[in-house]
Structure 1
């Protein structure tokens, strides 16, 4: 079995952002020359995040609070300057096809719901919590394996509704054809965004300083392509305070 990479930024990786992401990493390596030569692509995200020699990665808030918080160090939270969200926060966007679009939570509960994973905050925990505030739950669920796959499932008619991470939705509207045929029908409450983490032996402060400086030095075009505005410090307590529905499968992402 091939070892998982010691450094990766997997959560918003797309071919269209690879060059800008490589530039970000090169700037970090200029400040911290002992970093791995390049970012990797994990095959098993949980194994990657749990690796004792993890240098840097980005995880989802749900696995952080259910699996990782006592095994890793927080480095910081990238700020994507998402509309109506505090710095470093994000939300889920509920999307449907225009011909079936509705803002009625009771209709959402009856519709076939596409989730990237029951181990995802934005794709599962956030919309489940949102629907629960109306005393409702999803009755028919399709697990797709990824936000883009969920968008495509709704566009094809395999599902009626999906919840997409707001940054993933912004990237998809720019580069994913399936997103062009979908409309927003709702949004969940903002929660802390996807944090950068390092392993027990990592130097979280040095990594945070290098990442923040690299974002500043990227140049406007690369920052815009990645959607990055900076890095903020959000305490672990803020992540741990986010509700976790009983229906999550935290080992899946």
Structure 2
């Protein structure tokens, strides 16, 4: 079986994610779950991990959960983070521009350049599209949309002047500010997007119900372990909520609203 915590796993947090996984794996083994992976998988593309039939646990994004992944995975739990822009298990994005950018409203972004991490990202694209749709008036806003592959790269593109605006996941933005305090001197928050359920932890649809229940019990137990307090603080992790696909319909509802507003594609 395989496991991944690759959505909030930059190099400086890998030790924390490894410690979190080791604690979770030990608890699962004590519950009698067999074939628990001893380490996290980091050498395979995330979409390949998400669709692996032997997936025990991985973190995905709410947008592919509700679009491309279909019934291949089952939601296990949604993390709760202590970060600005988070509301329990729900979170949004920060629409950021360079510190000295003259833009005062989203409408001032017309004719500018945007950076997004990917077209299948809820926080980088879907929430961004939703907050822009009322201003787009059925037409394109940007002269260019740069796909960077990661929120951190989108932020870097704005700082470097390769893009003028980006929508950065609230948790990622907080973690980047923890690591690089100078970020606040380089960019500012122009707007905040709506919030939707955060990045879900999922397992393969073939995972037995007893294993899903064990995963949920083990995750809940982690939060109350004093030995893990430094790890949880580093990850800004404070708990887990049990949400299902119906909760994630908020993601596709925003997509539908953008379509109805005549802005089906972020452009």
TM-score by length of 2: 0.85
Shift of 1:138: 3.2
**Which sits farther off after the overlay, 10-19 or 235-244?**
235-244
CA distance in 2, matches of 1:49, 1:101: 41
Is the CA contact 1:74–1:198 (under 8 Å) kept in the aligned structure 2? yes
Q: Which runs of 4+ in 1 moved over 4 A?
A: none
2:190 maps to which of 168, 185, 190? 185
2:221 is aligned with 1:221? no
1:1-253, aligned counterparts within 5 Å?
A: 6-33=2-29, 34=34, 35-83=36-84, 85-136=86-137, 137-139=140-142, 140-176=144-180, 179-180=183-184, 181-202=186-207, 203-217=211-225, 218-242=227-251, 243-244=254-255, 246-247=264-265
Report the secondary structure of 2:168's partner residue.
strand
Report the secondary structure of 1:96's partner residue.
strand
Deviations 1:209-246 (A, max 9, x none): 11221232153221110110000012211212322254
Query: Which stretches in structure 2 are left out of the alignment for 5+ residues?
Result: 259-263
Shift of 1:69: 3.8
State the structure with more CA Rg: 2
Q: Which residue of 2 aligns with 1:251?
A: none
Deviations 1:117-164 (A, max 9, x none): 111111111111111033444322111111111111111101111110
Instruction: Provide the aligned C-alpha RMSD in A.
Output: 1.9
Change beyond 3 A, Cα 1:84–1:177: closer
CA distance in 2, matches of 1:178, 1:156: 14
Is the CA contact 1:80–1:228 (under 8 Å) kept in the aligned structure 2? yes
Shift of 1:92: 0.6
Is the CA contact 2:84–2:174 (under 8 Å) kept in the aligned structure 1? no
Question: How many aligned positions are there?
Answer: 244
Report the secondary structure of 1:133's partner residue.
helix
Higher strand share: 2
Is the CA contact 1:71–1:199 (under 8 Å) kept in the aligned structure 2? yes
Shift of 1:178: 7.0
Is the CA contact 1:118–1:247 (under 8 Å) kept in the aligned structure 2? no
Is the CA contact 1:42–1:48 (under 8 Å) kept in the aligned structure 2? no
CA distance in 2, matches of 1:197, 1:95: 30
Is the CA contact 1:98–1:183 (under 8 Å) kept in the aligned structure 2? yes
CA distance in 2, matches of 1:42, 1:26: 18
